[in-house]
Amino acid sequence: MTPAIVFDDGGGRLSPLADLRASFDIRTGALTTLERMRLAFDLAVAALRVPPDLESLVREKHPGLAVNQWEGATEPVLLLNGRCPISYEPIANLEVGQSVVEASSGEIAAALVSPIAAAEFMKTGAIEAAPAARLPGIALLSRPWHVRTFRDDCIASDLELLADGEGPDLPQGVIVFGDAALTIDPTARVYPGVTIDLEHGPVAIGQDVTVRPGVTLIGPCALLPHCTVLDKALIKGQTVIGPYCKVAGEVGGTIFQGYSNKAHDGHLGDSYVGEWSNLGAGTTNSNLLNTYGEVISVASPGMSNERTGQQFLGAIIGDHVKTAICTRIMTGAVLHSGSMFAQTAAVSGCVPGFTWATDAGRKPFRWEKFLEVATAAMKRRKLQPSNAMITRLRQLHSAATAAG
């Protein structure tokens, strides 16, 4: 196996996706980018390189890997940019001293370097490698809505990687039609009255997943370990329900990073939801303009409007975001981490992190109150925020407060 260093170069403007995780830990499909890299390239990941603000969180998430440290190698090392979610063919064919770059920006997606050059990269972040291939279009995540740009290709690749090749023993009373692959972990509980539509793509149901009566699953979709899909939910194609999530209502084209709840009716389409967020009953979003035109969005507060290249784009919802009952979220909204919404007006545009939004207006979410709410939410999963998470959240809160 080729030794590899996967790195987060801090490029682009990926908040809120990368507020509490490195770019390679974003769930860009059914898998995170790092998980996909390991399987697709058959990699032995030797080390991770990340910005200092994320180092403690990444060490905590990947305790078996060297983070911002390097013990050296005796053979060429593959450097992989964590913002590159697709396993492009030229990457597998590199020779030492060569790189693959995004044509529009010139930024490196991958490079194969000598052990000496790998050690220098771990120290400085500099990569000296001649471009051997240029990837057209968008090849690297650089805006939060790019998780939607790459979604379909990533999910297709992941479901192929996750398929076990054997048809499962169907639970009694489950209706299945279509010819695509169906994977059901033996520990999953799929109740009678569930309908699984395989006409448009495969469905994967993971370890200890619960699918309650009356649920309809339309492929391609993936239900990841320990998540729950509640009674009569409609889970449409291109959807990934991350680990330990609880989901109900109508959900389509949406990726849940993990540990978040949408436990009531309401529509959520073509969106991304981070961790530890909760969408109140009846929360509904728009994922298509009335004009059917390209969605325009703003990535971060203070930035300009940008074309997203998407006709269907819902909301990008960061970590630890909460919405009250019947919250409406407009097309292309970007809700940054730590925000709380309890307003009757629709939520639109780019909302700064740690915003407390009510009909009386918007104000900063007090740090002490935010931490109290975050701790209570995590306690429901029998977890608590680590020191690394608290430190990072405090950094984000301080930056948002200072900017506001």
pLDDT, tens only, 340-368: 999 999 999 999 999 999 999 999 999 99
Question: What pLDDT, on the 0 to 100 scale, is given for residue 37?
Answer: 92
240 and 361 share one domain = yes
d(CA 206, CA 198) in angstroms, rounded, equals 16
pLDDT at 41 over 90: no
Average pLDDT rounded to a whole number, residues 376-393: 95
Give residue for tokens 């006709």.
311
Q: What is the pLDDT of residues 114-123, one digit of tens each?
A: 999 999 999 9
* pTM of the complete model: 0.97
Q: What is the pLDDT of residues 123-171, one digit of tens each?
A: 999 999 999 999 999 999 999 999 999 999 999 999 998 887 777 788 8
The DSSP result for 332-354, as a single string, is T-EE-TT-EEE-SSPB-SEE-TT
When the pLDDT of each residue in the chain is averaged and rounded to a whole number, the result is 95
Position 71 scores a pLDDT of: 84
Q: Which residues pair with 102 in a beta bridge?
A: 135
What value does the CA radius of gyration of the chain take, rounded to a whole number of Å?
Answer: 21
Instruction: Domain of residue 264: give its range.
Output: 154-403
Q: How crowded is residue 88: how many other Cβ atoms within 10 Å of its Cβ?
A: 16
Whether 148 maps to a domain, the answer reads no
Q: Give the sheet arrangement for strand 66-67, strand by strand.
A: 66-67, 44-49, 3-7, 77-81, 108-113, 98-102, 130-135
- In a domain, residue 265? The reply is yes
Q: Are 232 and 238 in contact (CB under 8 A)?
A: no
The reply to whether 346 and 268 lie within a common domain is yes
* DSSP H/E element including 196: strand 195-197
Residue 16, preceding peptide bond in cis (omega within 30° of 0): yes
Total tally of structural domains belonging to the chain: 2
In the predicted structure, residue 402 carries a pLDDT above the cut 90: no
* Percent with pLDDT over 90 in the chain: 92
Is residue 145 within 8 A of residue 128, CB to CB? The reply is: no
**Is the pLDDT assigned to residue 377 strictly greater than 80?**
yes
Q: Between β-strands 108-113 and 98-102, what pairing exists: parallel, antiparallel or unpaired?
A: antiparallel
What is the structure's pLDDT at 171?
A: 83
Q: What is the pLDDT of residue 72?
A: 82
Residue 147 within a domain: no
DSSP code of residue 382: T
Domain boundary among 99, 118, 142: 142
Q: Say if residue 182 is in the same domain as residue 297.
A: yes
Write the pLDDT tens digit of every residue in 159-204: 998 887 777 788 889 999 999 999 999 999 999 999 999 999 999 9
- Band (pLDDT 50/70/90 cuts) for residue 242 is very high
- Give one word for 165, left, alpha or beta, with left for phi > 0 and alpha for psi -120 to 50: left
**246 occurs within a structural domain:** yes
Residue 220: DSSP 8-state: S
CATH number at residue 208: 2.160.10.10
Res 244 pLDDT > 80: yes
- Enumerate the β-bridge partners of residue 223: 205, 241
Task: Note whether 164 and 263 are same-domain residues.
Answer: yes
Question: Are 259 and 190 found together in one domain?
Answer: yes
Structural domain includes residue 67: yes
Does one domain contain both 137 and 174? no
Mean pLDDT over residues 316-327, rounded? 98
Tell me: do 183 and 247 sit in the same domain: yes
